[in-house]
Amino acid sequence: MLRISATLLQEFALYSTEDWYTEAMLNDCIKGVFKSTPEIQMGLAYHKLLERPQKNLEGLYERNGFRFAPEAIDSMLAKLDPGVFEVKLEKSMGVTREGEQVILVTKVDHIAGLHISEFKTTTDPFDAERYMGSYQWRTYVLVFEAEIFSYHVAVLERVDDRIKLRDLASMNVYPYSGLESDVTAMVRELVRYLRISKLDEFVRRQAKVTA
């Protein structure tokens, strides 16, 4: 069984289309080599606080040493309908010529009904093109059969001892008639790449028996 995450598919799409994205970067992603940065750590802390918002005695949201001004968290939470955080779902994409099942593996930040929300943190200005072109949302929408997907992008800046919200940009995208064939084609290309590069072992898992 080959388990392809939405993240890996998006990285492969970047490798396929962007000059700056190197094969070494893709291979690190396939092998699960994770290079953390302070920005990534800040993003992780931010996500955790959205799921479990709790202020410290100073009235700031604090997690893993990152201190967020209340507005940074509250403004994002105000964008969400009542729903569920961190929900996983998988979808079978069929069987390869070699007889291996291909599974798309996803975990959304938040879902309310058929509305998926994904949170992003950045210190750069909002880049609509980057999100509209992403295979991440295409994969999530396909697997969850969602009707609407919102990117909520918090543009953050460090001011003194805390992190403040400079901008909060939201953009909706929707499933379209060719979405499934686009994702399927990208999965096929990725699987082919994994085989040729002999990297398929990194995404291979034993089939899990579920009741």
Binding residues for other proteins, rule: CB under 8 A, are 16-19, 81-89, 111-115, 125-129, 132-133, 144-148, 167, 169-178, 208, 210-211
Which is nearer to other proteins, 15 or 202 (by Cβ)? Answer: 15
Which is nearer to other proteins, 53 or 133 (by Cβ)? Answer: 133
Tokens of 90: 């998988």
Which is nearer to other proteins, 66 or 80 (by Cβ)? Answer: 80
Which is nearer to other proteins, 45 or 80 (by Cβ)? Answer: 80
Minimal distance, residue 178 CB to other proteins, in Å = 6
Minimal distance, residue 48 CB to other proteins, in Å = 14
Which is nearer to other proteins, 33 or 77 (by Cβ)? Answer: 77
Minimal distance, residue 128 CB to other proteins, in Å = 4
Which is nearer to other proteins, 115 or 162 (by Cβ)? Answer: 115
Angle between helices 135-144 and 179-196 (to 10 degrees): 110
Minimal distance, residue 38 CB to other proteins, in Å = 22
Torsion from C-alpha of 197, 131, 95, 206, nearest 10 degrees = 70
Minimal distance, residue 171 CB to other proteins, in Å = 5
* C-beta separation of 17 from 130 below 8 A: no
Minimal distance, residue 108 CB to other proteins, in Å = 9
Give the chain as a DSSP string.
Answer: -EEEEHHHHHHHHHHHH-TTS-HHHHHHHHHT-----HHHHHHHHHHHHHHS--B-TTS-EEETTEEE-HHHHHHHHTTPPS-EEEEEEEEEEEE-TTS-EEEEEEEEEEEETTEEEEEEEESSPP-HHHHHT-HHHHHHHHHHT-SEEEEEEEEEEEETTEEEEEEEEEEEE---TTHHHHHHHHHHHHHHHHHHTT-GGGGB-PPPP--
